């Protein structure tokens, strides 16, 4: 009821306390928190303060409040984390080029690593994605979704939640530009071919080759980027590449 003075707002203090309980496992996943009124009394703050604290914890996915039942400690899963992240990153004006650069740094090595440790199921997954892309292209589709899925599958197969986060992060940012790329003549078909080569390298467990083909693929994509950007700035566009 009194210890403040630090400039912190009360509800932040309360949220911090609850968070601490969870971090130190005094409250475990699935546990029910005391009711709002109870906490209000025991901590000595108003119910509205408790509620504001709970709202912030709910937002970061730490707890879940169910009407009529109570508030429960939630398993802080990567997905929830990701959602918040994607939500806020839209507001950052990250240059699309920066995102491309991350891909450029990361994906070749990711492909190599996957080539070294891919299981059969991963290979099958990639193959089925490629097949879908082929079908999509043949039936007049853009193939964009499948292309994205291919890259995502490589990351997912590595079974590293962090990679998934980074992927979603980057994907989300250059969504617009990705569309633009697929509008360039023949890019979709060539993407398919490049993907296929990467796939073959992974399937034959040839890490070095996977790395090289991924790098080549990204270089091509980068070229298209360059053209689109120069189009943006100079008003000219060159539709054919290489």
Our CB check for a copy of itself shows the closer of 89 and 123 to be 89
> Least separation, in Å, of the C-beta of 20 and DNA?
18
**CB 200 within 8 Å of CB 192:** no
Using CB under 8 A, pick the residue from 5, 92, 240, 242 that binds a copy of itself.
92
Determine if 176 is a binding residue for DNA (CB under 7 A).
Answer: no
Our CB check for DNA shows the closer of 30 and 46 to be 46
The pair of three-digit structure tokens given for residue 28, joined into one six-digit string: 């475990």
Using CB under 8 A, pick the residue from 22, 50, 153, 214 that binds a copy of itself.
22
| Long-range CB contacts (within 8 A, 24+) of 131-140 | 133/192, 133/195, 134/192, 137/188, 137/189, 137/192
Determine if 33 is a binding residue for a copy of itself (CB under 8 A).
Answer: no
What are phi and psi for residue 119, nearest 5 degrees?
Answer: -95, 165
Determine if 15 is a binding residue for DNA (CB under 7 A).
Answer: no
Cβ–Cβ contacts within 10 Å for residue 182, how many?
15
Quote the CA–CA distance of 108 and 101 in Å, as a whole number: 12
Using CB under 7 A, pick the residue from 37, 87, 95, 127 that binds DNA.
37
> Least separation, in Å, of the C-beta of 34 and DNA?
7
Cβ–Cβ contacts within 10 Å for residue 190, how many?
17
The footprint of DNA on residues 55-84 (CB under 7 A) is: 65-71
Residues that bind DNA (CB under 7 A): 1, 4, 9-11, 33-38, 40, 44-49, 51-52, 65-71
């Amino acid at each position: 009821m009194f210890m403040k003075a630090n400039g912190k707002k009360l509800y932040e203090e309360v949220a911090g306390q609850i968070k601490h309980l969870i971090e130190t496992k005094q409250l475990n996943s699935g546990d029910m928190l005391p009711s709002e009124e109870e906490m209000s009394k025991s901590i000595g703050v108003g119910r509205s303060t408790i509620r504001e604290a709970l709202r912030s914890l709910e937002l970061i996915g730490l707890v879940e409040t169910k009407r009529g039942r109570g508030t429960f400690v939630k398993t802080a899963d990567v997905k929830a984390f990701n959602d918040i992240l994607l939500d806020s990153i839209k507001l950052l004006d990250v240059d699309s080029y920066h995102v491309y650069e991350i891909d450029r740094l990361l994906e070749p090595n990711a492909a190599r690593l996957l080539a070294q440790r891919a299981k059969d199921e991963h290979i099958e997954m990639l193959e089925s994605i490629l097949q879908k892309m082929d079908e999509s292209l043949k039936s007049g589709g853009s193939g964009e979704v499948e292309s994205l899925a291919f890259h995502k599958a490589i990351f997912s197969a590595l079974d590293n939640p962090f990679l998934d986060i980074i992927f979603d992060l980057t994907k989300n940012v250059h969504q617009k530009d990705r569309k633009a790329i697929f509008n360039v003549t023949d890019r979709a078909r060539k993407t398919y071919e490049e993907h296929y080569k990467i796939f073959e390298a992974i399937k034959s467990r040839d890490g070095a080759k996977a790395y090289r083909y991924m790098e080549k693929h990204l270089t091509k994509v980068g070229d298209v980027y360059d053209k689109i950007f120069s189009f943006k700035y100079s008003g000219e566009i060159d539709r054919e590449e290489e």
